[in-house]
Amino acid sequence: MKKLLSLVVLLSGLGMASYAQENQDPEVTRNKGKREKMGRRMANKSPEELAKIKTERLDKELKFTDEQRSQVYAIQLDEAKRQADSRAKMGELRKEQREAMKENKEKMGEILTVEQQTQLKEKFAHVKKDKRMHRRGDFKMRKDRFERQKDTIEKENNDA
C-alpha cells in the first residue's frame, strides 16, 4: 500500500511538472493580444488624434489642470509626430531592402545551377519556417528546428 501511494504521488508530481512547463504565463498571453489590437487601432490615427487620446488617458488618471493638460498635449504631439516620421522612414527602408534582396536573388539565380538553386530554396524554406516559429512560439515547430539542427550536426560528424 505504501509503495502504491508513493508511486501515485511520484506520477502526479511528474505530470504537474510537465504541465507547468508547457503552459505560458497567462498574463503575458492575455496582454499580448490587447497590445496588438490597440496598435492596429492607433496606427490609422493622425498624430493630433494620438496626442489627444494619450493626453485624455493620462488626464483620467492624474487629473491635470488646464495648463498641465495643454503642456502634456504638446509633449504627446511632438512624440506622435516623431514616431510617425520614424514609421514612414522604416517603411521606405523596408521597401529598399526588399528590392535589394530581390535583385540579389535574381543575380544568384543567374550564377547557380538548377541543383544548387533547389538546395538554396530548401534552405530558405527552413529559415522562413524558423522565423514563423519564433514569432508564434509554436512548440511543434521548435521541435522540428531542433531535429533539423541535430541532423545537421550528425551529418557533419559523419563527414569528419
What is the pLDDT, as a whole number, of residue 31?
Answer: 61
How many domains is the chain partitioned into structurally?
2
Q: Are residues 129 and 75 in the same domain?
A: no
pTM for the structure as a whole: 0.50
Give me the mean pLDDT over the 6-17 stretch: 75
Question: 4 lies in a domain?
Answer: no
Give me the mean pLDDT over the 20-42 stretch: 62
Residue 80 has phi, psi (to 5 degrees) of -65, -40
Query: Is residue 96 predicted with pLDDT exceeding 60?
Result: yes
What is the pLDDT, as a whole number, of residue 33?
Answer: 64
Q: Are residues 52 and 92 in the same domain?
A: yes
Residue 36, C-alpha cell as written in the block: 496588438
Query: Is residue 83 predicted with pLDDT exceeding 80?
Result: yes
Q: Which domain holds residue 56?
A: 34-111
Question: 9 lies in a domain?
Answer: no
